[in-house]
Amino acid sequence: MCGIVGYAGIRDVVPILLEGLQRLEYRGYDSAGIAVQDHGAIHVVRSAGKIERLQDKLAGVRLPGQIGIGHTRWATHGKPTELNAHPHSDCGGNFVVIHNGIIENYSLIKRGLQERGHRFKSETDTEVIAHLLEENWDGDLVSTVRSAVSLLAGTFGLAILSAFAPETIALARRGSPLLLGIGKNEMFAASDVSAIRRHTNQVIYLEDEDLAIITPSSYEISSLQGTPVRRDQQTVEWEIASAEKQGFSHFMLKEIFEQPEAVINAMRGRVLDQDGTARLGGLDTVRDQLRATDHLIIVSCGTSYYAGLIGRYIIESHTDIAVEVELASEFRYRNLNLKQGTVVLAISQSGETADTLAAVREAKRKGVAVLGLVNAVGSTIARETVAGIYNHAGPEIGVASTKAFVSQLTILYLLALLLGRERNLSISEGKQFIAALQSIPGKISQILAESDAIRDIAERYAVFENFMFIGRKYNFPIALEGALKLKEISYLHSEGYAAGEMKHGPIALIHPQFPTVCIAPQGESYDKIISNLQEIKARSGPVLAIATHGDQEIARLADDVIYIPDIEERYSPFLTVIPLQLLAYHIANFNGREIDEPRNLAKSVTVE
Ligand code: G6P
């Protein structure tokens, strides 16, 4: 969703802001803008639409200055127009604000400000902050920011310029991520490290209720309530190249091809071959709780939720733990029995998803141990959970999650192995489990080598407007994920169903223009899914099957088949998901969609 970048230093600020904003594009946005501080005069340039339009507006404009802030906006209050784009200013033009988050009491504040003579130029919630700064100005930027934000309800990550403090950017955080980047004679601010990674790998993650002031040569952090705070400086471990396309036409395609590596990285240092078990160092502090628990609740959203559903099958089949998987957005509405010993696991690629974070906080409030499975190091969920595991998948830029998903699966499988070995799983079963996991990267590579053949199949299917995806057991969540991938990036109607549910309604949809993708690898559920496939064929529905190499029978029944290498059914989701990602990618490409930044979607959904 919205993105923030800021710079205070010795270089020309406009190119640094524009490059930073481009690096934030992947998060989803619909307008953009920058503000540049030039000896007490602040110049603002904004535009609706993509950053290229902002660049066009800036072409030929001289905007000198070494201090500035930039923003990509994902509209919440007010349409994605230029007037609603950030930065927003007060009446006098002395305070300029960019904001991520939502100010819940803005309409009340706005009414009061209007009554006191303030003139509003936008429909946004953000603009009230600029006017509040104007109204509360007391000659000191820090105390003015404190007074102004004390009136706000809701969430914010703020970056503020003031004509009265020309060397300075003020930053404040409550519920929306913000970090500082430390350079030599220059300081950066951003909502996401990718915006500034090119310039520095030294960062400080701000926490909720932090207020920071940066100048080219210094930073100072205190709380919004006025007490000084210390935050540790951290080193970002990934290189900027991993946030670039490296010859691929889209980030999504690059990330699909990075999946063998994502599995390897998730396993690195975490497998104890001799003992047939896993070692997840981040969980050492909660080992006793994990050994004792018989109840695990997984909370997550989107693709991370589907990873959690597969986690349920694998953990339940290797332990005596009852696993519930709950959509984070629904968690608060459940009156779940969080008895002593229950463990909650939040799964989030970004570590910033507002619903997942709210579920984490709610579970903590109820007094149970809350763990995190997170890709983005230093993110809010990583910091607010008592223990956790990082994916080490590197930055995922494409909005449609791919490599983070297989990485999440890898870690959930390692967790199942660890929990199983601490219960009844034997050492030899543990060793077999490890051997199977270690075979996965090579098998994913074999499927990726078929990308062109999958593209040819996708071309034939790109003409359809409705799709059904069905699977059973481990591949039921893969059906959901396949349908999600397709709808996210191609905007085609697609539904994922447990194959057994077809006869309870969805089969009514089947006709010659409504294809079904049938996930049917060899295993326990094979015969039943073949029956489902035949029911669809009997109603003239086209069928594209995902099946195991050597399956001749399915080739006779289905219209098309994409084969995966032979693997035991419980590990098959690692493989069956790959052709579905490629299918979605190629169908979206044939339809000319904006694959990495699909309409209306955001990479990290920071509003509830
Ligand atoms: C957004 C993204 C999805 C992602 C979901 C959960 O909707 O577009 O790709 O699966 O959020 O994100 P998280 O970062 O919590 O895994």
Torsion of CA 451, 453, 455, 457, to 10 degrees: -140
Query: How much is the average pLDDT of 205-230?
Result: 95
Ligand 1 binding pocket includes 605 (Cβ within 6 Å) = yes
Q: Is 288 exposed, middle or buried (0-12, 13-18, 19+ CB in 10 A)?
A: exposed
Ligand 1 binding pocket includes 601 (Cβ within 6 Å) = yes
Model confidence band, residue 606 (pLDDT cutoffs 50, 70, 90): confident
603: CA distance to ligand 1 center in Å?
A: 6
Model confidence band, residue 76 (pLDDT cutoffs 50, 70, 90): confident
- In this predicted structure, which of 80-89, 455-464, 599-608 has the lowest mean pLDDT? 599-608
Ligand 1 binding pocket includes 252 (Cβ within 6 Å) = no
Percent of the chain exceeding pLDDT 70 equals 100
Q: What is the DSSP string of 333-375?
A: T------TT-EEEEEESSS--HHHHHHHHHHHHTT-EEEEEES
Ligand 1 binding pocket includes 399 (Cβ within 6 Å) = yes
* 337 has a pLDDT exceeding 80: no
Q: Tokens 């295993």: give the residue.
A: 523
Please give the model's pTM, rounded to 2 decimal places.
Answer: 0.85
- In CATH, which superfamily holds the domain spanning 450-594? Glucose-6-phosphate isomerase like protein; domain 1 (3.40.50.10490)
* 328 has a pLDDT exceeding 90: yes
pLDDT in tens, 402-426: 999 999 999 999 999 999 999 999 9
Residues of the chain with CATH 3.60.20.10: 3-236
Ligand 1 binding pocket includes 408 (Cβ within 6 Å) = no
Closest to 11 in 3D by CA, of 59, 69, 67: 67
CATH 3.40.50.10490 fits 245-443, yes or no: yes
Helices (H) and strands (E) in the chain, counts: 19, 26
List the catalytic residues.
Answer: 2, 603
Closest to 582 in 3D by CA, of 469, 396, 453: 453
Calpha distance 13→433 (Å, rounded):
53
- The packing angle between helices 403-421 and 302-318, to 10°, is 20
Q: Which listed CATH number (3.30.365.10, 3.40.228.10, 3.60.20.10, 3.40.50.300) goes with 3-236? A: 3.60.20.10
6: CA distance to ligand 1 center in Å?
A: 25
Model confidence band, residue 75 (pLDDT cutoffs 50, 70, 90): confident
Ligand 1 binding pocket includes 328 (Cβ within 6 Å) = no
111: CA distance to ligand 1 center in Å?
A: 36
- Rama region for 284: left / alpha / beta (φ>0; ψ in -120 to 50; rest): alpha
DSSP state of 175: B
- The shares of helix, strand and coil residues in the chain, as percent rounded to the nearest 5, are 40, 25, 35
DSSP state of 87: P
Q: Which of 401, 403, 409 to mutate to test the pocket of ligand 1 (most atoms within 8 A of CB)?
A: 401
pLDDT in tens, 279-316: 999 999 999 999 999 999 999 999 999 999 999 999 99
- Measured over all CA atoms, what is the biggest interatomic distance in the chain, rounded to whole angstroms? 80
401: CA distance to ligand 1 center in Å?
A: 7
DSSP state of 197: T
Ligand 1 binding pocket includes 353 (Cβ within 6 Å) = yes
* 6 has a pLDDT exceeding 90: yes
Ligand 1 atom nearest residue 353's Cα = 15
Nearest-CA residue for ligand 1 atom 7 is 302
> What are the angstrom distances between the C-alpha of 94 and each of 61, 165, 166, 344, 493?
21, 10, 10, 47, 48
Sign of CA dihedral 298, 300, 302, 304: negative
**How does the average pLDDT of the chain come out, rounded?**
95
Query: How much is the average pLDDT of 175-194?
Result: 94
Closest to 414 in 3D by CA, of 277, 209, 295: 277
Residues of the chain with CATH 3.40.50.10490: 245-443, 450-594
Structure tokens at 352: 């910033």
